[in-house]
């Protein structure tokens, strides 16, 4: 909160009030002395009345200024509360979006499995319920410890290996598991999921995805192997991650695409309460 503007206004107001009250006190002192001939009463002489009036003016000035400053601070506090509530409402909406995004994509995979291999579909559904529990348990958190997010990614990758086998290869560097800090829930999983969604892969030409740490960021790189008929991209996943980082504050995620490699950098957040709840 910046006090520059209110203090400037308060100073101008105080100065104007002081000048007006001083003139009023002086005129009243002269008028009182003239009307009541107070020369014989030393403690009520004109100069004493003037001093008394100045003192009263100072006291009233302090009261008015204190009231003004208190009212301003109350208004600012109310404004901050409204801004915080609005930000939390938007963050909750983004979390619901993650929920819907995850379920839509994985139910699509489940539908394919039901048609191809019903027994594998049943096993996939059982694992999917455990993975989904992570999203539910962390719904009311803005960030989660990196270790928890990596455990979630491992569970998610188990599902993907169950579905695609050797068609995908995801390598996670040892420095990733040793890193401290936190990230928004499911953000790492969404990045990996997008790589699977927008690239072609097979056992003969597997999709290579590498997760590492550099410059305080999780770095996710995948080979660019665009689908011949690419699905329509809504951009919900990456936009969701960017907006959640923006609401939390600090550095923003970045995306870099070259002819052969697609790279996403997710800043690792430190100094936040990972268990912070709504």
| Digit-coded pLDDT (tens) for 245-257 | 988 887 899 999 9
Q: What dihedral angle (degrees, nearest 10) is formed by the CA atoms of 97, 103, 108, 109? A: 130
The percentage of the chain sitting over the pLDDT mark of 70, rounded to a whole number, equals: 63
Rounded-to-integer distance, Cα 276 and Cα 181, Å = 14
Taking residues 223-237, report their average pLDDT: 75
Higher pLDDT, 182 or 133: 182
The encoded tokens of residue 195 equal 């790589």
Side-by-side strand order, sheet with 168-172: 168-172, 207-214, 217-223, 261-267, 254-257
Ranges 81-85, 162-166, 167-171, 269-273: which has the least confidence: 81-85
Rounded-to-integer distance, Cα 26 and Cα 21, Å = 8
CATH class of 117-267: alpha beta
Higher pLDDT, 270 or 79: 270
| Digit-coded pLDDT (tens) for 106-123 | 677 777 777 778 888 888
The percentage of the chain sitting over the pLDDT mark of 90, rounded to a whole number, equals: 28
Query: Which residues in the chain are classed under CATH 3.30.565?
Result: 117-267
């Amino acid at each position: 909160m910046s006090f520059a503007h209110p203090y400037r206004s308060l100073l101008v107001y105080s100065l104007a009030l002081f000048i007006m009250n001083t003139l009023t006190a002086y005129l009243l002192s002269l008028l009182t002395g003239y009307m009541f001939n107070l020369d014989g009463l030393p403690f009520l002489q004109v100069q004493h009345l003037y001093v008394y009036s100045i003192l009263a003016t100072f006291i009233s000035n302090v009261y008015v200024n204190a009231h003004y400053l208190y009212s301003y601070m109350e208004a600012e506090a109310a404004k901050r509360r409204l801004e915080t509530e609005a930000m939390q409402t938007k963050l909750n909406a983004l979390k619901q979006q993650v929920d819907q995004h995850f379920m839509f994509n994985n139910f699509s995979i489940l539908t394919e499995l039901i048609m191809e291999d019903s027994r594998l579909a049943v096993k996939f559904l059982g694992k999917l319920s455990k993975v989904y529990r992570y999203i539910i348990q962390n719904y009311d958190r803005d960030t989660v410890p990196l270790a928890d997010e990596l455990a979630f990614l491992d569970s998610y990758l188990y599902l993907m290996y169950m579905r695609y086998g050797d068609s995908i290869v995801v390598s996670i560097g040892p420095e990733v598991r040793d890193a401290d800090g936190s990230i928004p829930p499911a953000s790492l999983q969404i990045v990996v999921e997008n790589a699977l969604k927008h690239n072609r892969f097979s056992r003969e030409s597997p999709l290579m995805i590498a997760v590492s740490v550099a410059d305080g960021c999780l770095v996710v790189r995948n080979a660019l192997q665009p689908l011949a008929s690419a699905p329509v991209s809504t951009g919900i996943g990456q936009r969701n991650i960017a907006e959640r980082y923006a609401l939390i504050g600090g550095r923003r995620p970045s995306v870099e695409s070259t002819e052969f490699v697609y790279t996403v950098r997710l800043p690792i957040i430190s100094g936040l309460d990972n268990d912070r709840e709504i």
